[in-house]
Amino acid sequence: MPEWHGWQKLKYEAELDPKFADEITAIPGGEKLANCIQCGTCSGMCPLSTYMDYTPRQIVAMVRAGFKGEVLSSYTSWLCASCYACTVECPKGIKITDIMYSIKRRAIQEKVYPKKFPIPVLAKEFFGNVLRNGRSTEMLVVIKLYLKTAPLSMINQAIMGMKLFFQGRIGLKMESIKRKKELQTVLNAMDKEAVSTGKGTL
Amino acid sequence: MSYTYFPGCSLKGLGKAYEESLLSVFDKLGIEMTEIEDWNCCGATSYNSMDEMKAFGLSARNLALAEKYLQGAESVDIIAPCAACYLVLNKTSRYLKEYPEIGKQVHDALSEAGLSYAGLTNVRHPLDILQNDFGLDKIKAHVKQPLKGLKVACYYGCQIVRPYSTFDNQANPMVMDNLMKALGAEVIDWPLKTRCCGGSLTGTVQEVGVRLSYIIVKEAQKRGADVVATACPLCQFNLECYQDKMSGWYKDNLKFPVAYFTQLMGMAFGIDHKKLGMHRLFVPPKAATPEGRI
Amino acid sequence: MPENKSNGGLKIGVYVCDCGINIASKVNVAEVVEFAKNLPDVTVAKEYKFMCSDPGQDLIKQDIKDGKINRVVVASCSPLMHENTFRRATSEGGLNQYYFQMANIREHVSWVTADKAAATEKAKALVAAAVRRVAIHQPLERTRVPVNSTVLVVGGGIAGIHAALTLADAGKKVYLVEREPTIGGHMAQFDKTFPTLDCAACILTPKMSAVRSHPNITLWTYSEIAEVSGFVGNFKVKVKRKPRYVIEELCVGCNLCVEACVFKKPAFPNAFDEGLGKRKPIYMPFPQATPSVVLIDPNTCSELKTGKCKKLCASVCERNAIDFTQKEEFKEIDVGAIILATGYKAFDGKRIPRYGYGKYPNVYSSLEVERLVNASGPTGGELVLKNGQKPKSVGIVHCVGSRDENTNKYCSRVCCMYSLKLAHLIKERTGAEVYNFYIDIRTPGKGYEEFYDKLLHEGVHFIRGRVAEINDWAMTPDEQGKLIIRAEDTLVGMVRRIPVDMVVLANGLEPQEDAEEVRRKFNISCSSEGWFLERHPKLAPVSTFTDGIFLAGACQGPKDIPDTVAQAGAASAEAMALIDKGYVELEPNTAYIRDELCSGCHTCIPLCPYNAISFNHEKKIAVLNGALCKGCGTCVAACPSGALQQNLFTDEQIFQEIKGVMSYV
Ligand SMILES: Cc1cc2nc3c(=O)[nH]c(=O)nc-3n(C[C@H](O)[C@H](O)[C@H](O)COP(=O)(O)OP(=O)(O)OC[C@H]3O[C@@H](n4cnc5c(N)ncnc54)[C@H](O)[C@@H]3O)c2cc1C
Ligand code: SF4
Ligand code: SF4
Ligand code: SF4
Ligand code: SF4
CATH number at residue A20: 1.10.1060.10
Q: How far apart are CA C373 and CA A91, in angstroms?
A: 31
pLDDT of residue B9: 87
Which residues does chain B have within 8 Å of residue A189's beta carbon, measured at their own beta carbons? 57, 105, 108-109, 112-113
B53 domain-assigned: yes
Contact B171 C354 (CB under 8 A): yes
Radius of gyration, CA atoms only, chain C: 31
Instruction: Determine the residue among B161, B169, B172 to mutate to test chain C binding: the one whose Cβ has the most chain C Cβ atoms within 10 Å.
Output: B172
The alpha carbon of C402 and the centre of ligand 5 are apart by a number of angstroms equal to: 7
B228 domain-assigned: yes
DSSP state of C1: -
Which residues does chain B have within 8 Å of residue C352's beta carbon, measured at their own beta carbons? 171
Looking from the CA of residue A82, the nearest atom of ligand 3 is: 1
Residues A131 and A151 in one domain: yes
Average pLDDT over residues A146-151: 54
| Ligand of minimum distance to the alpha carbon of B48 | 3
Average pLDDT over residues B183-191: 95
pLDDT of residue A162: 67
Amino acid making up residue B35: E
Domain boundary residue among A75, A110, A145?
A: A110
CATH-assigned architecture of domain C151-242+330-343+512-581: 3-Layer(bba) Sandwich (3.50)
For the segment B216-230, what is each residue's pLDDT rounded down to a tens digit? Answer: 999 999 999 999 999
Amino acid making up residue C639: C
Domain boundary residue among A91, A110, A129?
A: A110
C205 touches ligand 4 (CB under 6 Å): no
Residues A88 and A124 in one domain: no
Contact C487 A50 (CB under 8 A): no
Contact B169 C473 (CB under 8 A): no
Residues B177 and B117 in one domain: no
Nearest CB partner across the interface for A167, out of B40, B163, B280: B280
Distance from CA of C138 to the nearest CA of A (A): 53
C399 touches ligand 5 (CB under 6 Å): yes
B134 domain-assigned: no
Q: How far apart are CA C358 and CA C386, in angstroms?
A: 13
Q: Whose CA is nearest to atom 8 of ligand 2?
A: A36
Low-confidence ranges of chain C (pLDDT < 50): 1-6
What count of residues does chain C have?
Answer: 665
3-class SS string, C526-561: ECCCCCECCCECCCECCECCCCCEEECHHHHCCCCH
Q: Which residue of C has its CA nearest to B170?
A: C353
Looking from the CA of residue C410, the nearest atom of ligand 5 is: 5
Residues A133 and A165 in one domain: yes
Domain boundary residue among B100, B126, B152?
A: B126
Domains of chain B: total: 2
Q: Is C354 on the interface with B (CB under 8 A)?
A: yes
Mutate to test the pocket of ligand 5, among C194, C399, C529 (most ligand atoms within 8 A of CB): C399
Domain boundary residue among B95, B126, B157?
A: B126
Residues A189 and A128 in one domain: yes
CATH-assigned architecture of domain C12-141: 3-Layer(aba) Sandwich (3.40)
- CATH 3.40.50 segments of chain C: 12-141
B170 domain-assigned: yes
Average pLDDT over residues B140-145: 94
CA proximity to C352, closest of C399, C408, C400: C400
pLDDT of residue A177: 85
pLDDT of residue B284: 79
Q: Whose CA is nearest to atom 2 of ligand 5?
A: C416
Contact C471 B191 (CB under 8 A): yes
| E strand or H helix that includes residue A78 | helix A76-79
B289 domain-assigned: no
**Domain CATH for B190:** 3.40.50.11810
**Domain CATH for B80:** 1.20.1050.140
Q: Is A28 on the interface with C (CB under 8 A)?
A: no
pLDDT at A192 over 90: no
Looking from the CA of residue C314, the nearest atom of ligand 4 is: 6
Residues B149 and B262 in one domain: yes
C interface with A, Cβ–Cβ below 8 Å = 354, 399, 403-406, 439-440, 464-469, 486-490, 493-495
Which residues does chain B have within 8 Å of residue C473's beta carbon, measured at their own beta carbons? 190-192, 219
Q: Which residue of C has its CA nearest to A57?
A: C490
Asked whether the beta carbons of C122 and C113 are under 8 A apart, the reply is yes
pLDDT of residue B204: 81
For residue B291, name the pLDDT band (cuts at 50, 70, 90): low
C281 touches ligand 4 (CB under 6 Å): yes
Residues B121 and B163 in one domain: no
For residue A138, name the pLDDT band (cuts at 50, 70, 90): low
Q: How far apart are CA C153 and CA C217, in angstroms?
A: 10
The b-or-e profile of C513-530 (16+ CB within 10 A means b, else e) is: eebeebbebbebebeeee
pLDDT of residue C236: 95
CB atoms near residue B195 (< 10 Å): 22
B135 domain-assigned: no
Helices B100-112 and A180-192, interaxial angle, to 10°?
140
pLDDT of residue B53: 87
C229 touches ligand 4 (CB under 6 Å): no
CA proximity to C16, closest of C106, C114, C89, C149: C106
- Average pLDDT score over chain A: 82
Interface of B with C in 222-281 (CB under 8 A): none
The alpha carbon of C255 and the centre of ligand 1 are apart by a number of angstroms equal to: 27
Which residues does chain A have within 8 Å of residue B56's beta carbon, measured at their own beta carbons? 190
pLDDT of residue C6: 45
Q: Which residue of A has its CA nearest to B196?
A: A83
The alpha carbon of A106 and the centre of ligand 2 are apart by a number of angstroms equal to: 21
For residue A196, name the pLDDT band (cuts at 50, 70, 90): very low
Amino acid making up residue C151: V
pLDDT of residue C611: 86
pLDDT of residue A144: 58
Count of H helices and E strands in chain A? 11, 0
Residues A106 and A122 in one domain: no
A–C CB contacts, 8 A cutoff, strictly below: 64
C311 touches ligand 4 (CB under 6 Å): yes
Residues A140 and A84 in one domain: no
DSSP state of C246: B
A89 domain-assigned: yes
Which residues does chain A have within 8 Å of residue B113's beta carbon, measured at their own beta carbons? 182-183, 185-186, 189
pLDDT of residue B195: 95
Contact C490 A43 (CB under 8 A): yes
Distance from CA of A157 to the nearest CA of C (A): 29
Nearest CB partner across the interface for A187, out of B16, B45, B54: B54
Q: Whose CA is nearest to atom 7 of ligand 4?
A: C261
Kindly tell me the sign of the dihedral angle through the C-alpha atoms of B78, B229, B25, B131.
negative
Q: In terms of residue numbers, what domain contains A186?
A: 118-197
Residues A94 and A144 in one domain: no
Pairing between β-strand C337-340 and β-strand C42-48 as defined by DSSP bridges: unpaired
Looking from the CA of residue B158, the nearest atom of ligand 3 is: 6
CATH tag for C345-510 (out of 3.40.50.300, 3.40.47.10, 3.50.50.60, 3.30.200.20): 3.50.50.60
Helix (H, G, I), strand (E, B) or coil at C498: strand
Q: Is A162 on the interface with B (CB under 8 A)?
A: no
Instruction: Determine the residue among C354, C405, C485 to mutate to test chain B binding: the one whose Cβ has the most chain B Cβ atoms within 10 Å.
Output: C354
Interface of A with B in 39-68 (CB under 8 A): 47-48, 51
Q: In terms of residue numbers, what domain contains B9?
A: 2-126
CA proximity to B278, closest of B257, B253, B255: B257
pLDDT of residue B3: 95
Contact C488 A57 (CB under 8 A): yes
A80 touches ligand 3 (CB under 6 Å): yes
Helix (H, G, I), strand (E, B) or coil at C335: strand
Contact B192 C354 (CB under 8 A): no
Nearest CB partner across the interface for A197, out of B49, B53, B280: B53
Q: How far apart are CA B215 and CA C474, in angstroms?
A: 11
Residues B96 and B148 in one domain: no
| E strand or H helix that includes residue A146 | helix A138-149
B244 domain-assigned: yes
Helix (H, G, I), strand (E, B) or coil at A81: coil
Which residues does chain B have within 8 Å of residue A52's beta carbon, measured at their own beta carbons? none
Q: Give the Å distances, CA to CA, from A84 to A46, B9, B61, B209.
A: 8, 22, 25, 16
Domain boundary residue among B78, B99, B126?
A: B126
Strand partners, B82: none
ipTM for this model: 0.91
CATH-assigned architecture of domain C591-646: 2-Layer Sandwich (3.30)
pLDDT of residue A139: 60
C302 touches ligand 4 (CB under 6 Å): yes
Distance from CA of B158 to the nearest CA of C (A): 15
pLDDT at A146 over 90: no
pLDDT of residue A5: 73
Q: Is B192 on the interface with C (CB under 8 A)?
A: yes
What are the E-state strand segments in A3-156? none
pLDDT of residue C506: 98
